[in-house]
Amino acid sequence: MTKLATWLRTNSQHYLLRDAQARIARKYGIAPPSTKGSFFWTKVFIPVYRVLPWGLRSSVMAAMPGSHRKRWSKQVPPAGSAV
């Protein structure tokens, strides 16, 4: 995975998690975590991400390089007896 893809995934996960924590905190009347952060991530990325339909989100995630694209290798049948 490239450095850019790693950076993008790390930051998007961080800010999406923080947004989810803040929404849950508000729901239960608890003080939300700090809202300090980059203008782009907090005021642009999160609101846009939340209004995108799931199909579009899914296709964007599938197009990005990352661990979610790893495939399981084919299983080799065992040779001989197990004992």
CB pairs under 8 A, 24+ apart, for 17-23? 19/46, 19/50
Q: For 2-54, what is each residue's pLDDT tens digit? A: 788 788 888 888 999 999 999 999 999 999 887 777 889 989 999 999 999 99
Compute CA distances 16 → 2, 29, 74, whole Å.
Answer: 21, 20, 34
pLDDT band at 66 (very low <50, low <70, confident <90, very high): low
Give 3-state DSSP helix, strand, coil % of the chain, rounded to 5.
60, 0, 40
Q: By CB neighbour count within 10 A (0-12 exposed, 13-18 middle, 19+ buried), where does 19 fall?
A: buried
Hey, where are the domains in the chain?
A: 3-64
Residue 67, pLDDT > 60, answer no
Residue 81, pLDDT > 90, answer no
pLDDT at position 44 is 92
